[in-house]
Amino acid sequence: MLSTFHKTFKLLLLFSVVISGWTSVLLISNTSFNLEIKEVINKMYLNQKNFVGNLKELSLLLVKDANERFSEKDTNITHLKNTKDSFNK
């Protein structure tokens, strides 16, 4: 299992290095696709930025949901204890 993980990690790392190097060479050499390459890189950056923003929003929603559910459970438990105490008296 660990060997498979290492092989996959090495493949992804190699792919990233090759794509980064190739892109750098093309940007430095001012090819005819320079503008398109910059647009794609900009889109990638914006998607990354949106992903982080969406992750933050999702985290806040999950925390709000958890707080609401825990407060409902606490309210139900308190209500049950109060009902139980009133029957015992």
pLDDT, tens digit, for every residue of 23-73? Answer: 998 889 988 888 999 999 999 989 988 988 898 898 988 888 888 877 766
Q: What is the pLDDT of residue 11?
A: 95
Instruction: List all residues 6 or more positions away from 7 whose beta carbon is below 8 Å from its beta carbon.
Output: none
Q: Which two tokens stand for residue 26?
A: 């093309």
Give the chain as a 3 state SS string. Answer: CHHHHHHHHHHHHHHHHHHHHHHHHHHHCCCCCHHHHHHHHHHHHHHHHHHHHHHHHHHHHHHHHHHHHHHHHHHHHHHHHHHHHHHHC
Q: What is the pLDDT of residue 81?
A: 60
Domain residue ranges of the chain, discontinuous segments joined by + = 2-88
pTM score, whole prediction: 0.56
